[in-house]
Amino acid sequence: MVLKHNSDLKEQIINALMEQEIETPSWGYASGGTRFFVPDDPTAARTLEEKIDDAAVVHKYTGVAPSVALHIPWDKTDDWKGLKEYAQSRGIRIGAINPNLFQMNEYMQGSVTNYDPAVRAQAVEHLLECVQIMRDTDSKVLSLWLADGTNYPGQSDFRRRKRNLLESLRSVYKELRADERILIEYKMFEPAFYHTDIGDWGMATLLAQSLGERAQTLVDLGHHALGTNIEQIVAWLLDLEMLGGFHFNSKKYADDDLTTGSANPHELFLIFCELVKAERDPEISNDVIYMIDQAHFDKPKVDGMIQSVQNIQIAYAKALIVDYQALEEAQVKQDIIAAEEILNAAYQTDVRPLLAEARQRAGLDPNPLEAYLKSSDRELRLARTK
């Protein structure tokens, strides 16, 4: 590979690998399951503090997961300052705040899209509560996903719901400070199956553009049909400077319970190729947050999270070693074979030695998952009881 002949490039890549930050989700450390069954998991966190502890352990072994996202009210506390300080004492910080607008009877017909102005006001109040939690915890990001939608034709009016949604979000957006932003997530279906109020990346982006420059689109890898070209969506959003962040997982069945990179690592690599190209383009300005959103109920919690972080790092490393100059030249010549082979050369390269060297330079074990599996940290989690 080119890395053998260009030590400067190798140094740049190693630095980039250890400067990457990947946020993990508090809910990924708690008990989860399907709508059919929630199995007991002795490794699952039982309290908010244990979620923070688990996130801190992932950062301890990977060195690139310094923040944990919270979900409100799943992660409610009466002492936000104390929680912030507790996270800091464990070596991490509080990341994105995720409001919950889908677990109350009042929201059966929608939250911020509801016909009832009292219900919409209640939903907006919760969003503003989450903005205050952001400030209490030094977070700068409100990450919004809505379950709003309908199941039957004629059940509700699309345009009226869209207007209610935009009016509600404007009430929240105007309260954001200059250094705060809202990321709008989308999902094609589920739990509503006839229509979802924010059903795709275009809807989310139009909403964000209507709100203003502190609103952007959040791409969840699990929220797409199996044939969707997510890397194209990423490229468009980067070019529009509207990509705010990711929820990394897997879209094997259009939701986000599978660990990142477990089903289609090649897709993850191609997505990172678009991100790396944009990072190197001086005409594009993006501040993209890398966040994991997975509830891997059939894998031990911390184990699965470290595995996902490693998979993201591997995809990023492979994207970093692509010869983009040669790729562009092949594209201009319309040499399809050459272009594909350039990508394949990087994808088929074993980047684990490169990552091992980067971790060792940072004072970490070269194999985070293996180190954790042999550690007393894992023994403590296996000893948890319900």
**pLDDT of 94-143, one tens digit each?**
999 999 999 999 999 999 999 999 999 999 999 999 999 999 999 999 99
Residue ranges covered by each domain of the chain = 21-321
Quote the CA–CA distance of 257 and 295 in Å, as a whole number: 5
pLDDT digit string, tens, across residues 271-318: 999 999 999 999 998 899 999 999 888 899 999 999 999 999 999 999
Concatenated DSSP letters of 102-114: SSSGGGTT-STT-
pLDDT at 31: 87
Q: What CATH number has the domain spanning 21-321?
A: 3.20.20.150
pTM of the model: 0.95
Non-local (6+) Cβ contacts of 11 within 8 A are none
Q: Which runs of consecutive H residues, i.e. helices, occur in the chain?
A: 7-19, 48-62, 80-89, 117-137, 158-173, 201-211, 230-240, 265-279, 301-320, 324-332, 336-347, 352-361, 368-373, 376-382
pLDDT at 120: 98
- What does the pLDDT average to over 380-385? 83
Question: Whose CA is closest to 235, among 286, 185, 199, 184?
Answer: 286
pLDDT at 1: 38
Quote the CA–CA distance of 27 and 105 in Å, as a whole number: 22
| Whether the predicted pLDDT of 62 surpasses 90 | yes
Quote the CA–CA distance of 99 and 139 in Å, as a whole number: 13
Strand partners, 185: 218
Strand partners, 182: 142, 215
Amino acid making up residue 303: D
Name the average pLDDT for the chain: 94
Evaluate whether 342 touches 2 at the Cβ level (below 8 Å): no
User: Cα–Cα–Cα angle for 316, 222, 42, nearest 5°?
Assistant: 90
Question: Whose CA is closest to 216, among 64, 67, 103, 96?
Answer: 96
For residue 269, the SS3 value is helix
pLDDT digit string, tens, across residues 194-245: 999 999 999 999 999 999 999 999 999 999 988 899 999 999 999 999 999 9
pLDDT at 256: 65
Question: Whose CA is closest to 146, among 93, 183, 95?
Answer: 183
Question: Whose CA is closest to 322, among 260, 271, 261, 249?
Answer: 271
Quote the CA–CA distance of 114 and 123 in Å, as a whole number: 9
Supply 29's token pair. 């450390």
Omega of the bond leading into 73 within 30 degrees of 0 (cis): yes
Supply 279's token pair. 């990072």
Residue 3: Cβ-neighbour burial (10 angstroms; 0-12, 13-18, 19+): middle
For residue 83, the SS3 value is helix
- Model confidence at 190, pLDDT cuts 50, 70, 90, reads confident
pLDDT at 4: 47
| Whether the predicted pLDDT of 250 surpasses 50 | yes
Concatenated DSSP letters of 218-260: EEETTSS-TT--HHHHHHHHHHHT-EEEEEE---TTSSS-SPT
